[in-house]
Chain A
Amino acid sequence: RKEVEQDPGPFNVPEGATVAFNCTYSNSASQSFFWYRQDCRKEPKLLMSVYSSGNEDGRFTAQLNRASQYISLLIRDSKLSDSATYLCVVLSGGYNKLIFGAGTRLAVHP
């Protein structure tokens, strides 16, 4: 079983739609959680950290469920510019290692 699992998608949604991505992680001792965004052939960019109480940044809302080892990202009012791959990332291990999911691809169309 992979340490971080995501649905690869693609999720094809119209502009203005709300879309949600889920991610599960296997190590219950994981310490920090993130969503990164990666455009084709570019570097991953930190979208947001995920806090235990959940957090919101504009149109983006992240939730963490430690009991179920589950992380989610909700994007409201999707824009064309939101088209990208979204990486679920978990900090695990005694040496602060980031574990990356393979990503969920989002395509927003007019």
Chain B
Amino acid sequence: DADVTQTPRNRITKTGKRIMLECSQTKGHDRMYWYRQDPGLGLQLIYYSFDVKDINKGEISDGYSVSRQAQAKFSLSLESAIPNQTALYFCATSDVRDPYKAQYFGPGTRLTVL
């Protein structure tokens, strides 16, 4: 089984709809992240969480919110989806005990906003 899972894997929605993307991990890592990737661009950090009570904005948090329901679960919500939020979304985790702070990614959610 995959260590980091994301649901749904694909989603098509309409402008103005509220969407939730979910991420679960079995790696036992305390740190979790949400990124988006647009064609030809590097990954951009949306939000990150270092533990259940810690939520932090990344570079591009406007229009998004998150919830860390448990150490293993981190959800991303689009309150009112707009077409320029069409992108590939990745969840990632890292271990505070890793001195290099490598991150490990889920398989991604492809979101299309019409």
Q: Is the contact region of chain B dominated by helix, strand, or loop, or is it mixed?
A: loop
CA distance A42 to B90 in the complex (A): 10
Which residue of B42, B56, B102, B110 is within 8 Å of A95 (Cβ)?
B56
Number of interface residues, chain A, beta carbon within 8 A: 23
Given contacts A41-B110, A43-B90, A95-B56, contact A102 B42 (CB under 8 A): yes
Residues of A with Cβ closer than 8 Å to B? Answer: 4, 8, 31-32, 34, 41-46, 49, 87, 91, 95-103
A101 touching B42, Cβ below 8 Å: yes
Query: Which interface class (under 10, 10 to 19, 20 to 34, 35 or more) fits B?
Result: 20 to 34
Given contacts A102-B42, A103-B42, contact A49 B88 (CB under 8 A): no
CB distance from A26 to the nearest CB of B (A): 13
B101 touching A32, Cβ below 8 Å: yes
